[in-house]
Structure 1
C-alpha cells in the first residue's frame, strides 16, 4: 500500500459533537427539572434519573468521538453510533459518491454522500465522508485507489 493514501480517518467535527452534547444536556434538564421539583416523584427516582441522564450524556460523548470511517491496510471500517462494520478490501465491490436526495429539502445537508458496496451487494454509508466535511470526489478517488491495490487479483 502506498503510505500517501492510508491510513485515512473521517470523523465528526468537534462543533457537531458540541451541538449534540448541548442538545442532550438541554433535553436532560428539561426532563429532570419538573421531575425533581415536584413533590410526587419518589426519592429513588429522583436519584436514578440524574444518574441515567449523566450516563446517557457520557456514553453519547464517548461514542461521538468514535463515529466515522477509517481506512487502513486491511480495509474500511464504518463506525456508527450503534453498529460497527468492517469491509476487507477483497469484500468490497464498489466505492462511490452519490447525490444526497435530502440536500434539495435541507439547506445544511451535504450535496454528496459516499457509500461502500459489500460482497452481498448491500451498501453502507461511509460515515462523515460527505461534501459537508471533505472533498468527496478526491477522497473517494483515494479510497478507490487503495481498494484497487488492496483487493488483489481475486
Structure 2
C-alpha cells in the first residue's frame, strides 16, 4: 500500500524485550526434553522409562515454540497508512483498505498469558466480522492502547468512505465468532484437565503393575475430548438466541 500517508502513518513493532522469565522456564523444560530425547533407548532394567516418542515429541514442540516466539518478536509488525492497514505475521502478511475495515477494538488477552505478557490486545474486524490481531499494538509495547486506537481511528476517518458506525449484521457475525472461540477455548481447558486425569490413571497402572496405555491415555483421549467437546459447545453456542 502506498500513497501519501500523512499523519495516519504508524508502524507498531517490538519495543520491549519478551518476558525473560517465561523464556527461561521454556528453555529449561525444552532443554531437559531434548537431553532426554538423546537417551530414549536407555530404559531401566525393570522396563520403566518414557517411550521413544515422548521426549522427542516434547523436544520438537519446544523447538517450534522458540521459532514461533522469535518470529513474533523479530518479524511481526503492524503498519498503518492512508491506504489502510498491513499486518505482517510470523510468515505472511495481509492488507486491508480502509473501506474493508469495520472496526478496531482493544480486548483483554487470555488469562493464561501471564503477568509479564500483554493484558490487552488490539484486533481489526473486517466487514465480514472476522477478527485479525494487530501485532504489537498492545499494552506491553504501547503505553495506552485505548488512547492509541482512538487516535488512530480519528486520524483514519478522512480516508474512510464509511463512518465508524455499528452494523447489526456485522455485530451478529462478530458475536458468532466470539462464541466459537469461547467454545474451543473451553474445550482446550477441558482437554488439559483430562490430560492430567489420564496422567494419574497411567501412574496408577504403573503402580499396580497393570499394562500401560500411555499413547491412548495421554494423546488419543485428550485430543478426542477436545474435538468432541469443542464441536458440541460450538453447536450449542450457535443455537443460543441472540441477546
Give TM-score, length-normalised by structure 2. 0.45
Q: Which of 137, 147, 151 in structure 1 is aligned with 2:146? A: 137
Unpaired runs of 5+ in structure 2? 43-56, 164-243
Question: How many pairs are equivalent?
Answer: 145
Query: Are positions 1:150 and 2:156 aligned together?
Result: no
2:8 aligned partner: 5
Would you say the 8 A contact 1:95–1:143 is kept in 2?
Answer: no
Matched ranges for 1:98-109 at <5 A: 98=107, 100=108, 102=110, 107-108=115-116
1:36 aligned partner: 38
Tell me how far 1:147 sits from its aligned partner: 2.6
Q: Which has the higher strand share?
A: 1
Tell me how far 1:106 sits from its aligned partner: 5.8
Unpaired runs of 5+ in structure 1? 41-48
- Aligned in 2, Cα 1:82/1:24: closer, same or farther, shift over 3 Å? farther
| Residues 114-137 of structure 1: per-residue CA shift (max 9 Å, x gap) | 222102122223222123331112
Higher relative contact order (CA 8 A, sep 6+): 1
Q: Which has the higher helix share?
A: 2
| Residues 53-93 of structure 1: per-residue CA shift (max 9 Å, x gap) | 99744565245311232212332123344664322112111
How far apart, CA to CA, are the structure 1 residues paired with 2:70 and 2:115?
26
Tell me how far 1:29 sits from its aligned partner: 1.6
How far apart, CA to CA, are the structure 2 residues paired with 1:101 and 1:54?
23
